[in-house]
Structure 1
Amino acid sequence: MSETQAASPVKKVNPNAPTEETVLSVHHYTDRLFKFRITRPGSFRFRSGEFVMIGLPKEDGKPLLRAYSIASPSWDEELEFFSIKVPDGPLTSRLCDIKPGDKVLLGKKPTGTLVHDALTPAKRLYMFSTGTGIAPFASLMRDPETYQKFDEVILTHTCREISELAYGEELTAALPDDPLCDEYAHKFRLYNSVTREDFPRMGRITDLIESGKLFEDLGVPPLNAETDRVMICGSMQMIQDTKALCEKAGLVEGSNAAPADFVIEKAFAG
């Protein structure tokens, strides 16, 4: 290049910028809930139970991102997400219209507290969820490490209507045929409840814990710090109420830095 030629400006590349991934499949369960799967970059690593930022480009070119729990296990070659549809939501109002072949933005830094590393060893693991809060547990229930660390794994899923329980029931039915967890399927139990329709198990999970009905139905003792570990994901109110019940039972909150008896996902707790 001669001295009179101007050097071309070098475009800076943000190493933390989201990658653009392809939508592989979409399934709508109700007018409020859907799941979708996208491609997984070869360099993308995460621990089962973590969340990541996903989204779509805004009309002004800037990305619109929100935190989403990864619903697929860490060994899966694709990434699965379970989402609610919010008609006036900046992201979900558009995300619910995606189709196979469309592009979705994926962040590069998964993180979270609903992971094996944040709990100390024990006999039984409870995963308390409401609505789309089942997503991180959809990941953990398909991870062999979950069953190698606990003798019994109990997932509770509470929704407003029966039709909203379909995702959890679908995952449970498929577990005996899971390529990595089929031998552990006998350790897993699903406990559903609904709050707005007639169903064999009705009521908020906090009420079912407090009344003892949950433990009576399952045939297990009440929460005990010696034998039980707990993960909680759902609405902010549900998280706070269930956390209080855990503390009342003598369980201590843990974290990645200080593993203990129960953990909540603070990213979705307000």
Structure 2
Amino acid sequence: MTEWIIGNIKDVKYWTKNLFSIILNAEVNNFIAGQFAKLALKINGEKIQRIYSYINSPKDKNHEFYISNIKGGKFTPYLYKLKINDKIMISKNASGIFTLNNIKVCENLWMLSTGTGIGPYLSILQDGICFKKFKKIILVHTIRYINDFNYLYIIKKIKKKYKNKFVLQIILTRNNHINDSILYGYIPNLIRSGDLEKKIGIKIHKNNSHVMLCGNPNMIKETRKILEINKNLSRNFINKSGNITSEQYW
């Protein structure tokens, strides 16, 4: 059963019309980078709850969550309207196994994400343990438009600190060409065609790679299938080691 505590809203960042982040302070128990919390509000007399990944490092005192405002949704429109000093319920204990704890050390760690699925990776990257465990971290982030990349300032800090150990590849799904460093399309298709690996200059191989997947369930399902068939990778479980770790929330 979930143990709830009250958090205090410290800030709300409105990135775009549909994307925002809430920052809150609450005396939660220690969590592992990559885990998620439950957030809840009383809405029309009913407690509505959803799960969101921590974006901040476990070392931070404030906790940040990256959220897509769902039009007509039962929960996110109310989160969107929160103001500084408003109260919110948060689970005292974090959950989830989308962490580095169950991933064996290898040469290349691939972090593939769509939309707000970048959230747990931001926590893992800011925590920094991944850079001691793997030789190279490749973050692949798919968004519709370049303006939807709302945590670039964090990525720039990480790139400055870890330099060539960290690789970022942005993928846009809308045809608005920005520059030659950006890919266009969808992760599964770009892996199938070989364009993603060619662009980055690194191969996904079962002997030296682990792939993490987070975001749209269709992306996860299709990408996992391609990795299993085309790359001979296997799913990673607590009791059975593999090369693919995934997380999805809906």
With structure 1 as the length reference, what TM-score do the two structures score?
0.85
- Cα deviation for residue 21 of structure 1 reads 0.3
Alpha-carbon distance between aligned partners in 2 of 1:49 and 1:209, rounded to the nearest angstrom: 24
Which residue does 1:10 correspond to in 2?
A: none
Pairing 1:31–2:12 present = no
Q: Given that residues 118 and 260 in structure 1 are in contact (C-alpha distance below 8 angstroms), is that contact kept between their aligned partners in structure 2?
A: no
Unaligned regions of 5+ residues in structure 2, if any?
Answer: none
Kindly tell me the number of residue pairs found equivalent between the two proteins: 245
- Pairs within 5 Å for 1:1-270: 16-41=2-27, 43-60=28-45, 62-167=46-151, 169-175=152-158, 182=161, 184-199=162-177, 200-221=182-203, 223-248=204-229, 249-266=231-248, 268=249, 270=250
- Cα deviation for residue 175 of structure 1 reads 2.1
- Cα deviation for residue 185 of structure 1 reads 4.4
3-state SS in 2 of match to 1:142: helix
AA paired with 2:238? N
Alpha-carbon distance between aligned partners in 2 of 1:40 and 1:127, rounded to the nearest angstrom: 28
AA paired with 1:89? G
Distance 1:227 1:57, change over 3 A: same
AA paired with 1:171? I
Distance 1:58 1:69, change over 3 A: same
Which structure's CA Rg is the greater one?
1
Q: Given that residues 39 and 50 in structure 2 are in contact (C-alpha distance below 8 angstroms), is that contact kept between their aligned partners in structure 1?
A: yes
Q: Which moved more, 1:84-93 or 1:199-208?
A: 199-208
Distance 1:162 1:197, change over 3 A: farther
Q: Which moved more, 1:108-117 or 1:79-88?
A: 108-117
AA paired with 1:172? I
**Amino-acid identity (%):** 27
- Cα deviation for residue 77 of structure 1 reads 1.5
Q: Given that residues 117 and 256 in structure 1 are in contact (C-alpha distance below 8 angstroms), is that contact kept between their aligned partners in structure 2?
A: no
Unaligned regions of 5+ residues in structure 1, if any?
Answer: 1-14
With structure 2 as the length reference, what TM-score do the two structures score?
0.92
Report the structure, 1 or 2, having the larger strand content. 2
Deviations 1:19-76 (CA, angstroms, capped at 9, x unpaired): 11011111111101111211131x511110011111212221x421101111112222
Q: Given that residues 53 and 67 in structure 1 are in contact (C-alpha distance below 8 angstroms), is that contact kept between their aligned partners in structure 2?
A: yes
